[in-house]
């Protein structure tokens, strides 16, 4: 059974249909992509999956449970983490503190524990610290853990976001345009990182991306949407040769003019 | 000026220096009653009292980033709980403290629960209204003594020793202020403290990281309310009389002023803010009716030159 299954998903804002009858699935342990022209509704799909938007209809089954109409923090607790299209770091906090936010949902100390510094609380803090340092080490940022996040280079800030998402200990990681704003070298590193996350950590990946080169290189399954509707699905070769996809991206050949 | 403050903040950031500063300050505070006049002690007791209130509000405004314009309401709940229970039901003062903690926590929950879905400006308006509602209820109920308030609240005793002099209350409020600093520090450097900061910086990102923002904010409201409530308990027995006029909107603004003036979210800053709040009007007492004007101008100057508050911000 697939890790994520979406059926008949629909979303509309005041009569405007952003997503229509969308159906797709993401297999456990795979790297899948969602692509489509600008304004096709990709980020809206992500926002529906993570609970930020309330879909008008449809079902979303994640890890065998329905997550539709659940609050974002509950969905994260069930094992779905995301990064944002525009960086959403906690700017004035250190890199390590940023990553620690991911561990919040996997720990439980409350105010009493914090005030009394109980043994359990101290043990938990040490665990949080250790796990978050491992996440930072994984993305190669351990050396800058005590820097203020907003003082890092753009590419490094993106990696802080991934480390933060990894710290939530997800089963499925949603990446919203992970390559946006990265240079060529950083993109190559990103491809390596995405594969390492899947191969070494066993985390399923689902991404939205504009950079076709990157999408074709990493994805095992690609879903293409346009105007909120699925127009194609398949592996890289099938998508590159699909006439509907070419039409959506490049426009229709206007042969009837002649 | 800027150079001086960097040197200062570097010197302070050394752990050893920080400990010696704290111990010196604690020593001065401990032995102050030996040299100070009763007037001086009265003023300083007031300072410690405002330190506690400002630190309580700092949890809501500074840590969680929620603008609260009705903080005096929680302080009123604590003061009235103690006042009513001791003067009308003869309950021992020390037993009223846990009850007051419960009542102010409930008040925090009642105002927090339905309103925390609101964002900034709207929340500020609702809290302002809540502060006024609490004051008006106190003004109109019989049990709270109506407009004239409660008088003749009995002074507490501890192990048969009655607290009835200003020196006694000086030490009581000093201990409360130190306790408030300690609790604030521990909370700030904990999982919950970090969660407050995440929510303050970016609510949506915090929620995407699995943080229940409503619960986290509610914690801030309830803990802040408890600080205010406990301060209120001791305020009631120190003054032996309370009236609704003590808990006017002005009071909430004053406490908020202490937090903003010193530096939101920074414990030493908030303590300095509370000092400034109480000491400025006292120092300029000779100016008579002009003193509030001078106070206002001094505050404007501070805010113009140090918009983040008196205490320097952490840099890296």
- The region of weakest confidence among A33-47, A209-223, A241-255, B78-92 is A241-255
State the pLDDT at residue B119.
72
For residue A174, give both structure tokens. 């949603």
**Percentage of chain B surpassing pLDDT 70?**
96
Q: CA-nearest residue of chain B to A87?
A: B205
Q: What is the mean pLDDT of residues A119-142?
A: 94
Judged against a pLDDT cut of 90, whether residue B212 lies above it is answered with yes
Q: Averaged over B302-310, what is the pLDDT?
A: 82
The reply to whether A142 and A128 lie within a common domain is yes
Please give the tally of structural domains in chain B. Answer: 1
Kindly write down the DSSP assignment for every residue of B108-152, as one continuous string: HHHHHHHHTTS-HHHHHHHHHHHHHHHHHHHHH-TTTTGGG-B--
Q: Are residues A221 and A251 in the same domain?
A: yes
* Domain stop point among A103, A132, A167: A167
Report the alpha-carbon distance of residue A162 to residue A88 in Å, rounded: 11
Regarding whether A137 and A190 lie in a shared domain, the answer is no
> How close A250 comes to chain B (CA, Å)?
35
CB–CB of A124 and B191 under 8 A? yes
Are the Cβ atoms of A71 and B212 closer than 8 angstroms? yes
CATH number for the domain that contains residue A238? 3.40.50.300
In a domain, B23, yes or no: no
Give DSSP secondary structure letters for B241-283.
-B-GGGGSHHHHHHHHHHHHHH-TT-HHHHHHHHHHHHHHHHH
Residue B1 has a pLDDT of 52
pLDDT at B194 over 90: yes
Using the beta-carbon criterion (under 8 Å), do A109 and B192 form an inter-chain contact? yes
Partners of residue A146 in chain B, C-beta under 8 Å: 316
Q: Do A98 and A17 share a domain, yes or no? A: no
Give the per-residue pLDDT at A37.
86
Among the ranges given (A194-208, B16-30, B248-262), the one the predictor scored with the smallest mean pLDDT: B16-30
A120 touches A108 (CB < 8 A): no
Q: Is the ipTM of this complex over 0.85?
A: yes
Determine if residue B315 is left, alpha or beta; phi over 0 gives left, psi from -120 to 50 gives alpha, anything else beta. Answer: beta
Identify whether residues A158 and A104 lie together within a single domain: yes
Q: What is the mean pLDDT of residues B145-174?
A: 87
Residue B17: pLDDT band by 50, 70, 90 thresholds?
A: confident
pLDDT recorded at residue B153: 87
Q: Which of A39-53, B113-127, B132-146, B175-189 has the lowest mean pLDDT?
A: B113-127
Task: Give residues 166 to 195 of A whose Cβ lies within 8 Å of B.
Answer: 168
Check A71 against B192: CB less than 8 A apart. no
Question: How many angstroms separate the CA of residue B143 from the nearest CA in chain A?
Answer: 34
pLDDT of residue B294: 80
The Cα–Cα gap between B233 and B213 comes to: 30
Range of the domain at A8: 1-79+170-258
Q: Which two tokens stand for residue B251?
A: 């009071």
Q: A155 with A189, same domain?
A: no
**Do the domain assignments include residue B195?**
yes
Q: Is residue A191 part of a domain?
A: yes
Contact B210 A102 (CB under 8 A): yes
For position A258, what pLDDT does the model report? 46
- Reply yes or no on whether the pLDDT at B96 is more than 90: yes
B294 inside domain? no
Judgement on whether residues A161 and A181 belong to the same structural domain of the protein: no
- For Cα atoms B270, B223, B68, give the angle at the middle one, nearest 5 degrees: 60
- Show Cβ contacts of residue B307 under 8 Å, excluding neighbours closer than 6 positions: none
Please give the pLDDT value at position B292. Answer: 75
**B contact test, residue of A43, A72, A122 with most B CBs within 10 A:** A72
| Judgement on whether residues A246 and A181 belong to the same structural domain of the protein | yes
A167, A195, A210: which is the final residue of a domain?
A: A167
For B48-69, the pLDDT digits (tens) are 999 999 999 999 999 999 888 9
Using a CB–CB cutoff of 8 Å, tell me whether A117 touches chain B.
Answer: yes
Q: Please determine, for residue A256, whether its predicted confidence score (pLDDT) is greater than 60.
A: no
* Residue numbers of the domain that contains B99: 38-248
| Least confident range of A106-115, A186-195, B11-20 | B11-20
Question: For residue A84, what is the nearest residue in chain B, using CA coordinates?
Answer: B205
> How far is B143 from B140, CA to CA, in rounded Å?
9
What count of CB pairs under 8 Å joins A to B?
A: 104
For residue A116, the distance in angstroms to the closest alpha carbon of chain B comes to: 8
Name the closest residue on chain A to residue B182, using Cα atoms.
Answer: A115
Shortest Cα distance, chain B CAs vs residue A240, angstroms: 33
**What does DSSP assign to residue B9?**
H
Query: Do residues A179 and A160 both lie within one domain?
Result: no
Q: Is residue A86 part of a domain?
A: no
For residues B66-86, average pLDDT:
93
Q: Name the average pLDDT for chain B.
A: 88
Q: Phi and psi for A169 in degrees, rounded to 5?
A: 55, 60
C-alpha dihedral, A245 to A247 to A251 to A255, nearest 10°: 170
Q: Residues A187, A155: contact at Cβ < 8 Å? A: no
- B316 and A94 within 8 Å at the Cβ level: the answer is yes
pLDDT at residue number B124: 86
Cross-chain Cβ contact A111/B223 below 8 Å: yes
Same domain as A258, residue A222:
yes
Structure tokens of A154?
């753009």
What is the pLDDT, as a whole number, of residue A248? 83
Domains in chain A, number: 2
Q: Per-residue pLDDT averaged across A174-191, rounded? A: 90
Spell out which chain B residues touch chain A, with contact meaning CB-CB distance below 8 angstroms.
183, 186-187, 189-195, 197-198, 201-202, 204-213, 219, 223, 315-316
In chain A, whose CA is at the least distance from the CA of B201?
A90
Cβ atoms within 10 Å, residue B246: 20
Taking residues B133-140, report their average pLDDT: 92
Interface contact flag, B209 A109, Cβ < 8 Å: no
Q: Is A228's Cβ below 8 Å from some Cβ in B?
A: no
Higher pLDDT, A182 or B17: A182
Does some domain include residue A102?
yes
Q: A223 and A104: one domain?
A: no
Angle between helices B267-283 and B249-262 (to 10 degrees): 120
Angle at A42 between CA A37 and CA A48, to 5 degrees: 165
- Report yes or no on B310 lying in a domain: no
A123 touches chain B (CB under 8 A): no
Better-scored residue on pLDDT, A170 or B115: A170
As a whole number of Å, the CA-based R_g of chain A is 20
Q: Give contacts of A110 with chain B, Cβ < 8 Å.
A: 192, 219
Which of A167, A185, A213 marks a domain boundary? A167
Question: A89 — contact with chain B (CB < 8 Å)?
Answer: yes
Is residue B125 situated within a structural domain? yes
A143 in the same domain as A158? yes
- For chain A, strand residue ranges (E) read 4-13, 16-26, 31-35, 57-62, 65-66, 80-82, 172-176, 204-208, 221-226, 229-234
- Asked, for residue B282, whether it belongs to a domain, the answer is no
B206 to chain A: closest CA residue: A101
Among A215, A162, A209, A207, CA closest to A181: A209
């Amino acid at each position: 059974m697939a890790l994520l299954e979406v059926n008949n998903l629909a979303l509309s804002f005041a009569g405007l249909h952003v997503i229509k009858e969308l159906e797709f699935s993401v297999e456990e342990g795979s790297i899948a992509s969602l692509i489509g022209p600008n304004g096709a509704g990709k980020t809206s799909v992500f926002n529906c999956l993570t609970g930020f938007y309330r879909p008008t209809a449809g079902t979303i089954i994640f890890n065998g449970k329905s997550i539709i109409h659940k609050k974002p923090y509950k969905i994260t607790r069930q094992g779905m983490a995301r990064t944002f299209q525009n960086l959403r770091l906690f700017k004035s906090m250190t890199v390590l503190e940023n990553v620690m936010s991911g561990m919040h949902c996997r720990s439980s100390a409350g105010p009493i524990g914090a005030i009394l510094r109980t043994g359990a609380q101290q043990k938990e803090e040490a665990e949080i610290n250790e796990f978050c340092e491992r996440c930072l080490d994984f993305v190669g940022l351990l050396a800058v853990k005590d820097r203020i996040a907003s003082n890092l280079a753009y590419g490094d800030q993106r990696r802080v976001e991934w480390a933060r998402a990894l710290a939530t200990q997800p089963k499925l990681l949603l990446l919203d345009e992970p390559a946006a704003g990265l240079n060529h070298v950083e993109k190559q590193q990103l491809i390596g990182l995405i594969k390492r996350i899947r191969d070494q950590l066993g985390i399923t990946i689902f991404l939205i991306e504009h950079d076709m080169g990157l999408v074709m290189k990493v994805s095992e399954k690609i879903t293409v949407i346009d105007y909120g509707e699925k127009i194609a699905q398949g592996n890289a070769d099938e998508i590159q040769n699909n006439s509907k996809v070419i039409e959506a991206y490049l426009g229709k050949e206007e042969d009837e003019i002649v | 000026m800027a150079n001086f403050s960097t040197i200062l903040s570097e010197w302070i950031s050394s752990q050893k220096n920080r400990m010696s500063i704290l111990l010196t300050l604690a020593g001065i505070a401990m032995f102050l009653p030996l040299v100070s006049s009763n007037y001086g002690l009265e003023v300083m007791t007031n300072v410690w009292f405002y330190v506690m209130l400002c630190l309580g509000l700092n949890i809501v405004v500074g840590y969680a980033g929620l603008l609260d314009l009705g903080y005096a309401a929680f302080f009123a709940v604590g003061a009235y709980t103690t006042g009513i229970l001791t003067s009308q039901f003869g309950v021992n003062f020390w037993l009223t403290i846990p009850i007051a903690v419960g009542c102010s926590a409930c008040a925090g929950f009642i105002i927090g629960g339905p309103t925390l879905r609101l964002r900034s400006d709207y929340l500020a308006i609702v809290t302002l209204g809540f502060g006024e509602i609490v004051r008006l209820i106190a003004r109109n109920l019989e049990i709270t003594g109506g407009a004239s308030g409660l008088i003749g609240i009995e002074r507490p005793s501890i192990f048969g020793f009655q607290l009835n002099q200003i020196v006694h209350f000086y030490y009581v409020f000093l201990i409360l202020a130190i306790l408030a600093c300690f609790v604030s520090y521990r909370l700030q450097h904990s999982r919950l403290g970090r969660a407050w900061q995440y929510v303050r910086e970016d609510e949506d990102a915090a929620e995407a990281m699995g943080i229940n923002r409503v619960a986290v904010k509610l914690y801030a409201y309830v803990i802040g309310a408890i600080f205010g409530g406990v301060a209120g308990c001791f305020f009631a027995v120190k003054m032996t009389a309370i009236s609704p006029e003590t808990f006017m909107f002005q009071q909430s603004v004053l406490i908020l002023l202490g937090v903003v003036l010193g530096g939101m979210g920074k414990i030493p800053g908030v303590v300095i803010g509370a000092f400034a709040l109480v000491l400025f009007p006292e120092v300029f007492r000779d100016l008579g009716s002009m003193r509030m004007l001078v106070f206002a101008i001094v505050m404007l100057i501070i805010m113009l030159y140090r918009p983040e508050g008196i205490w320097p911000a952490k840099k890296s």
